[in-house]
């Protein structure tokens, strides 16, 4: 028997990650002799304090555990390492390989070394290690490589449109449209509840709980409104309160694997050759907003809820628009403005002014044609009826007979 109540956040975590999973890596490392009992005790104590004092999420805690356990591949027991041991371990890490036999990427090296410094500062503070504190603080980690995406990796507006058209149901169309236009992280979409969605005269607003930056963001939706509204109408429960917006066909909460499978299948159906991941929608949306000239402060507030974020530069490098304009202008070269890509603009009905989806061919309110192709189709039908009035008479007679059969007249 199916559930009679809508699933909520409490029913299942979106990211199915439990702290016990990472603790198993400690047990496994102990069994294999990669950790000593003392290492495990120190690691558990450090993690417990970090979780209590810094309010870290389970995902973050698990990452810390994995990194510290991995450090023992390159270092001796935590308690007995000297500063020279730390230097040697860092050099071995930089020249080492991951579990797949590939060199560590720059950002992985950064995360390892930053955590090693924090862990040893904690050991020193608690008088467990005698490593000189000044020398630990002086250790430099590689800078984060924020240029991991290239412009050609981004989804184009036309590709977003193709993904929407490839969807076979209102839920999947809403998922693609909202995920893109909101620029939300996939976990934020997976945890989104109907009480956090407000429909108004201009579209809809999401109140997004940013668990990464610990802020609440105001996100305006326009293009995706018709898709989200259609899904709300088809939602199998009352779309209100703490009910999750996106649920599976079995009426259970979405998980990361669920969304990844949906998007992968849609990409295949749409004929996309790019590697489509949930986070690519956020990358693409921010890049498009920058390219379209949206105010930097607006983008920062919408995507990070923070005017001082340094993450903006991660995406700004993906467009050379400002550089080209300034340098060419310096040489007196005027660059013609590029025509705006209208493939994802909502279609306003010229008759009743209803805001329709970018993929709509006819107005959902008055059924007026919205595209040149649709208008041409209607004109052809009108021409046929004018040329062959008997067709129209037959249609009217059939409608009258149908109403008589139903007892309506």
Q: What is the pLDDT of residue 104?
A: 92
User: Do 188 and 196 touch, CB atoms closer than 8 A?
Assistant: no
**pLDDT higher than 70, residue 391:** no
| Of 72 and 213, more confident | 72
| Of 247 and 385, more confident | 247
In degrees and rounded to multiples of 5, residue 150 shows phi and psi of: -110, 155
Q: How confident is the model at residue 405 (pLDDT cuts 50, 70, 90)?
A: confident
Q: What is the pLDDT of residue 1?
A: 45
Q: How far is CA 133 from CA 117, 139, 172, in A?
A: 10, 10, 53
Cα–Cα distance measured from residue 76 to residue 59, given in angstroms and rounded to the nearest whole number: 26
3-state secondary structure at position 218 = strand
Please report where in the chains the tokens 């989806």 appear, as a residue.
357
Q: What is the pLDDT of residue 157?
A: 92
3-state secondary structure at position 362 = strand
**pLDDT higher than 80, residue 147:** no
Nearest CA to 246 out of 165, 357, 169, 181 is that of 169
User: Domain-by-domain residue ranges, the chain?
Assistant: 11-137, 151-330, 347-405
**pLDDT higher than 90, residue 291:** no
Q: What is the pLDDT of residue 349?
A: 77
Cα–Cα distance measured from residue 67 to residue 185, given in angstroms and rounded to the nearest whole number: 24
Q: What is the pLDDT of residue 230?
A: 93
DSSP H helices in 97-155:
106-125, 133-137
Mind listing the pLDDT tens digit for each residue in 85-104? 999 999 999 999 887 889 99
Cα–Cα distance measured from residue 6 to residue 396, given in angstroms and rounded to the nearest whole number: 45
Name the token pair of 284. Answer: 């693409």
Mind listing the pLDDT tens digit for each residue in 164-207? 999 999 999 999 999 999 999 998 999 999 999 999 888 899 99
Residues listed for the chain: 409
Mind listing the pLDDT tens digit for each residue in 349-358? 777 767 777 7
Q: How far is CA 403 from CA 111, 301, 366, 389, 394, in A?
A: 72, 56, 23, 22, 14
Kindly state the average pLDDT of the residues 287-315. Answer: 87
Bridge pairing between strands 347-348 and 203-210: unpaired
Buried b / exposed e across 158-183, counting CB within 10 Å, b at 16+? ebbbbbbebbeebbbbbbbbbbbbbb
The yes or no reply on domain 151-330 and CATH 1.10.287.3510 is no
| Mean pLDDT computed over every residue of the chain | 84
Kindly state the average pLDDT of the residues 280-296. Answer: 90
Name the token pair of 191. Answer: 């945890």
User: Do 267 and 275 touch, CB atoms closer than 8 A?
Assistant: no
Q: What is the pLDDT of residue 196?
A: 95
Bridge pairing between strands 203-210 and 215-221: antiparallel
């Amino acid at each position: 028997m199916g559930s009679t109540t809508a699933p909520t956040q409490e029913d299942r975590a979106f990211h199915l990650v439990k702290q016990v999973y990472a603790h198993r890596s400690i047990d496994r490392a102990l069994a294999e002799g990669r950790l000593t009992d003392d290492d495990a005790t120190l690691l558990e104590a450090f993690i417990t304090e970090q979780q209590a004092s810094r309010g870290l999420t389970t995902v973050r805690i698990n990452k810390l555990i994995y990194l510290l356990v991995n450090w023992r591949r390159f270092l001796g027991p935590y308690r007995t390492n000297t500063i020279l041991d730390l230097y040697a371990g860092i050099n071995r890490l930089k020249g080492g390989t991951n579990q797949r036999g590939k060199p560590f990427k720059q950002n992985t090296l950064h995360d390892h070394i930053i955590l090693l410094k924090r862990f040893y500062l904690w050991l020193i503070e608690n008088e467990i290690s005698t490593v000189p504190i000044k020398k630990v603080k002086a250790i430099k980690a590689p800078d984060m490589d924020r240029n991991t995406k290239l412009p050609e990796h981004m989804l184009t507006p036309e590709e977003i449109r193709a993904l929407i058209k490839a969807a076979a149901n209102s839920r999947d169309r809403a998922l693609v449209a909202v995920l893109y236009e909101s620029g939300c992280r996939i976990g934020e979409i997976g945890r989104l509840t109907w009480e956090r969605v407000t429909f108004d005269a201009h579209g809809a607003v999401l109140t997004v709980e940013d668990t990464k930056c610990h802020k609440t963001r105001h996100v305006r939706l326009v293009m995706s409104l018709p898709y989200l509204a259609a899904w709300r109408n088809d939602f199998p429960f009352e779309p209100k309160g703490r009910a999750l917006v996106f649920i599976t066909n079995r009426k259970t909460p979405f998980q990361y694997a669920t969304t990844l499978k949906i998007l992968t299948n849609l990409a295949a159906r749409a004929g996309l050759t790019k590697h489509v991941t949930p986070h690519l929608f956020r990358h693409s949306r921010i890049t498009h907003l920058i390219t379209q000239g949206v105010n930097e402060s607006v983008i920062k507030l919408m995507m990070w809820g923070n005017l001082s974020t340094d993450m903006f530069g991660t995406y700004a490098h993906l467009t050379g628009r400002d550089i080209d304009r300034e340098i060419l202008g310096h040489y007196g070269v005027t660059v013609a403005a590029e025509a705006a890509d209208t493939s994802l603009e909502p279609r306003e009905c010229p008759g009743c002014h209803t805001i329709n989806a970018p993929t709509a061919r006819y107005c959902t309110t008055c059924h007026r044609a919205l595209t040149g192709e649709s208008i041409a189709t209607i004109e052809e039908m009108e021409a046929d009826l004018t040329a062959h009035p008997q067709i129209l008479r037959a249609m009217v007679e059939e409608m009258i007979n149908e109403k008589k059969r139903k007892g309506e007249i």
